[in-house]
Structure 1
């Protein structure tokens, strides 16, 4: 290729522009459309020279390019999902060329290497994700269901926590915010994938060691990726429901500055800051600093929702082929644990006697509290040896300290609510590392993308629990007819906690084979080893277990010219039952899962839309169940989940963005030691859920700066423990809304309502909790 073949597109001043690391940013608002037209628009907005060959961009579509970006970053975003890349010439012009083509200009490749979790999302539609293959693969080539919530969707829905971020994702369900403030405890396809299962990952590696290590702060995330179904081949020990990968905000090549203030009901005050950009003129070092401070009450008196969060990050790029990013975070949470209650104690029960009110605090001020400190420190390293071989190495240390006391409602005698003590002091640590080689090569009509890796996870969980179990150990009762908080006595319960040390290691191999650019065959295999030692404090008994398991994965995708991509796959999961149980120690067998899935993705040509559909059958053997009232585990036979999931995400026009989903989930017990349990539905899992969210900028009415958003979430009927209540927990629909107004390119005002119509509902999964009431939040954000 010769320079005189390049077509220059000039807009504004044609003087040469020397690219600096601290590049000028411009306010882009370009709709999805032809790549050529988008590149011309970028040149017109920025006044910078953009060079391309018309034949290279002919027939190619670009996503919308919006926000405060440098010209280089805007061009890069317009090329996402194509085989085109952007170079910077010696004169500072931006040159677009096919990936792998030679160039005789003295040019510098931009972003030749990207961290595996780094994204270039524009709007609601993610084109690529590393979560399905540990390579930056287009989603249409992944033979398994993947849902991605981009940063723009998080912003336009103003998600406050991880549960909020995922509540419009089909197949996902969570407890109310009163519980999610203390723990990331979720289900996918009817199976628990919370922190206690290892199913919450950060930047592709395991994070917490137990359910109550603290919830993930959504403001510190760039995107959230959900891989549904059995997925142990790449990520090791997991629940068959799948995993949730949270991607940290990373240092940026262009300056980023944002501060925000939120005010809301329950005396909510929240302050945020997000800063990033280059640290030197050469662009070798860049940084990111994200912080949050929140003081807030809740719908229940004496229960706060306070948090402090800070996350610094630094990236070093000594050359275009090497990148090292150091990530750290510190988080303090001060709130209250929402105690479990039986259905009979809720206002939904028609049994005689006093009930616990929806907003009633049934603990004791000064006693009930949940305090958590969570810290992380790690790094992500990538190096590309040549066009075909790259190495990825990641490492992180995690620790959490949790102290939480609360009173558990037991039963009502007359108007007196009997309560048990629960006092817990817990400390968790975790070391995790993932290392792999990525090798690509062609063999005629076949292309191979090989990944060979080793990962390791070591965790400790030291939990001291003092939970009263006899009448003599009960706390003072609470008079529900005339509540008077009188304080608590001494908690004389014995320590029923335990100390767990476990190590998990695995080696994996995957080959993604493409034939004639139409067929994609994915083959993967893994060998896992797991060992654990649990010491029960009450008896000093030690229980040791060693497990190993081989798992596999196979999938096939066909890429049609019309944008359709049907696929079929089979995958397995493996999860050691490393839980403490005062009665049985750690003698449970591993949980094993397998999934069959048939799906279809569709990207209509010329649009920025992705439609997905999947049907699946997911089985788990050696299932475990936690009785929250007795705090013990029970292992039973086999559980099956069958279902259908539909999802649509699109930047439908320059001004309209949409996210929609539906899930039908049929989860039942197939085998159980108790014959009467066979055939029963799994608790807390609805047959039907549906959601719709739309965000629209009122440009057609001449109000380009005004955006409105609205959504609805339907959660169908569920079941709880049949011995407690054999009826159905009622279905409910929740409506959310948001309005934002851009005063100029710097100031933005927003107002958000969750559960706009204040719908009252009950959530039950073995035990019950009341749902969240309406929340109203206003915010102002300044960017420069």
Structure 2
């Protein structure tokens, strides 16, 4: 295959033999290559003669060619194109020519660096080496990666152990992922974990490796049951343990468990307010505030508040959910930390009875039709949940 080749980046060739250009066959033909950039002229010459012309793009950069007109051999045509450029051609194979810098004529003055002999040691200039890890942009990238990378977990062993050293399958959904996806429900967060499906149930329920969790979910390692409409505003991450874990958690299904890890107070003040809007009149407001209570940092606080209100694609169906979750962290001495958590959730909803079946198919009515007692929209069902928890840890 014959094709012109013009290097767009530095090209290195291993040349086993170089022969004068005059050794090629001398057959004349007509040329009509106008003056212009040397690279364009070489491409046109290669297209006419079927040559492969190999050269470093830097050699032809900013070089011009007078062009070639009339009848010439292809060797003469190439020499005419290179007349104004400090280049010379060498044959490196059949129909292949390499261009290289032309040798300096005898008597051409050389620089002092070229005259200096290299028989002894050569003193090099100072080389400054900087640490790229200290660059602010790199540090910002590392901080962003750490929001997605969770190296440790307490679910499998109930100790702060690296996941790589834990002989069980653990997957973690970090807070940054939930923020990126604007997750407002636990079921949406767990969709990121393979082998776990949300069960179609009123209560929070999952199928892990084909086993139903029986409406059980764990919060900081403690089991809770028959909970609904759980919020994500006060969660730092969601950890999913796959496989049997009855040794640590007692009686549970062999598929695994879902553990909710709540946010902890921070040493530095942090305040956040977020407003979300969505389909079917969805409104959700979240507030997150944390910081030290005492100047010495021995007592910290955090308060998470979330309010959500939304309708449904079904007429007269609506939901309202309020979560208030304050927490305190007390550090009386350096190795000891005591955490106190409290949660209050008020959940109000109108039950959706769905569409009845006629025979073995749904009734032919609009999907938005509400068939339950309409009085229920004025007397919605309510759930009030109170939860208090205490934990402590001591480093050794």
TM-score computed with the length of structure 2 as normaliser = 0.61
Instruction: Return closer, same or farther for 1:232/1:353 CA change in 2, 3 Å cut-off.
Output: closer
Asked whether 1:263 is paired with 2:269, we answer: no
Question: Which position in structure 2 is the counterpart of 1:272?
Answer: 286
Match 2:328 to one of 314, 322, 325: 314
Kept in 2, the 8 Å contact 1:214–1:373? The answer is: no
Q: Tell me, yes or no, if structure 1 residue 373 matches structure 2 residue 388.
A: no
The residue that corresponds to 1:328 in the other structure is 342
Matched, 1:171 2:195: yes
Alignment check: 8 A CA contact 1:214 1:374 kept: no
2:368 equivalent among 353, 359, 371: 359
Whether 2:253 is the aligned partner of 1:236: answer: no
C-alpha contact (below 8 Å) 2:157/2:248 kept by paired residues: yes
The 3-state SS of whatever aligns with 2:184 is coil
Report what 2:222 is aligned to: 205
CA-CA distance at 1:357 after TM superposition: 4.4
Is the 2:199–2:207 contact (alpha carbons within 8 Å) kept by the matching residues of 1? no
- SS in structure 1 at match of 2:148: coil
Quote the Cα distance in structure 1 between the aligned partners of 2:347 and 2:274.
20
- The superposition leaves residues 663-721 of structure 1 with CA deviations (integer Å, 9 ceiling, x where unpaired) of xxxxxxxxxxxxxxxxxxxxxxxxxxxxxxxxxxxxxxxxxxxxxxxxxxxxxxxxxxx
Deviation at 1:190, TM superposition (A): 1.0
The 5-angstrom pairing of residues 685-724 of structure 1 reads none
1:224 aligns with 2:248: no
- The answer on whether the counterparts of 2:185 and 2:231 sit within 8 Å (CA) in structure 1 is yes
Are residues 370 and 229 of structure 1, via their aligned partners in 2, closer, same or farther at CA, if it must alter by over 3 Å? farther
Taking structure 1 as reference, are residues 44 and 139 closer, same or farther at Cα in structure 2, changes over 3 Å only? closer
Q: Deviations over 1:624-646 (max 9, x none)?
A: xxxxxxxxxxxxxxxxxxxxxxx
Q: CA shift at 1:341, angstroms?
A: 6.9
CA deviation after TM superposition for structure 1 residue 265, in Å: 2.1
CA deviations 1:119-178 (Å, max 9, x no partner) are xx82322111111111111111122211100000111011110001111211111146xx
Distance 1:201 1:372 in 2: 19
Indicate conservation of the 8 Å contact 1:262/1:270, yes or no: yes
Label 1:356 to 1:145 Cα distance change in 2 as closer, same or farther (>3 A): farther
**2:152 aligned with 1:128:** yes
Partner of 2:136: 41
CA contact (8 A) 1:130 1:136 kept: yes
Secondary structure of 1:367 counterpart:
helix
Pick closer, same or farther for the CA change 1:41–1:237 going to 2, 3 Å: same
Instruction: Compute the displacement of 1:250 (Å).
Output: 1.1
Which of 183, 186, 199 aligns to 2:203? It is 183
User: What residue is the counterpart of 1:65 in the other structure?
Assistant: 143
Give the one of 196, 201, 213 matched to 1:193. Answer: 213
Gap change, CA 1:339 and 1:173, over 3 Å in 2: farther
Higher helix proportion: 2
CA distance in 1, matches of 2:204, 2:222: 16
C-alpha RMSD of the superposition: 2.6
User: Counterpart of 2:375 in 1: which secondary structure?
Assistant: coil
Which whole-Å CA distance do the structure 2 matches of 1:277 and 1:327 have between them? 15
Distance in 1 (CA, whole Å) between partners of 2:387 and 2:151 is 29
- Give, in angstroms, the shift of residue 222 of structure 1: 0.6
Q: Secondary structure at the match of 2:244?
A: coil
- 2:183 — aligned with what? 159
Structure-to-structure mapping, 1:765-784, within 5 angstroms = none
For the structure 1 residues 356 and 377, does the alpha-carbon distance in structure 2 shift closer, same or farther, using more than 3 Å as the test?
A: farther
Compared with structure 1, are the counterparts of its residues 337 and 322 closer, same or farther at alpha carbon in structure 2 (3 Å cutoff)? same
Cα distance, 1:340 vs structure 2: 6.9
Kept in 1: contact 2:355–2:371 (CA 8 A) = no
Distance 1:322 1:39, change over 3 A: farther
1:250 and 2:264 matched: yes
Instruction: Please give the alpha-carbon distance, in whole angstroms, between the structure 1 residues aligned to 2:133 and 2:167.
Output: 31
Distance 1:353 1:289, change over 3 A: closer
Q: After alignment, is 218-227 or 370-379 more displaced?
A: 370-379
SS of 1:283 mapped into structure 2: coil
In 2: Cα distance, 1:133 partner to 1:283 partner = 29
| Structure 1 alignment gaps of length 5 or more | 1-35, 46-62, 67-120, 388-784
Q: Compared with structure 1, are the counterparts of its residues 201 and 133 closer, same or farther at alpha carbon in structure 2 (3 Å cutoff)?
A: same
Unmatched 5+ stretches in structure 2: 1-130
Deviations 1:12-52 (A, max 9, x none): xxxxxxxxxxxxxxxxxxxxxxxx7445539999xxxxxxx
Secondary structure in 2 matching 1:140: helix
Displacement of 1:339: 3.8
Contact 2:345 2:384 in 1 (8 A): yes
Matches within 5 A, 1:457-496: none
Q: Distance in 2 between matches of 1:163 and 1:264?
A: 17
In 1, Cα distance between equivalents of 2:236 and 2:183: 12
How far did residue 323 of structure 1 move?
Answer: 0.4
- Give how far 1:193 is off: 1.2
Larger Rg: 2
Q: Distance in 2 between matches of 1:237 and 1:256?
A: 40
TM-score relative to the length of structure 1: 0.32
Look up the SS of the partner of 1:64 in the other structure: helix
Do the aligned partners of 1:306 and 1:334 also contact (CA within 8 Å) in 2? yes
SS at match of 1:126: coil
Distance change (3 Å), C-alpha of 1:42 and 1:279: farther
**1:122 touches 1:152 (CA, 8 Å); kept in 2?**
no
Q: Is the 8 A contact 2:172 2:238 kept in 1?
A: yes
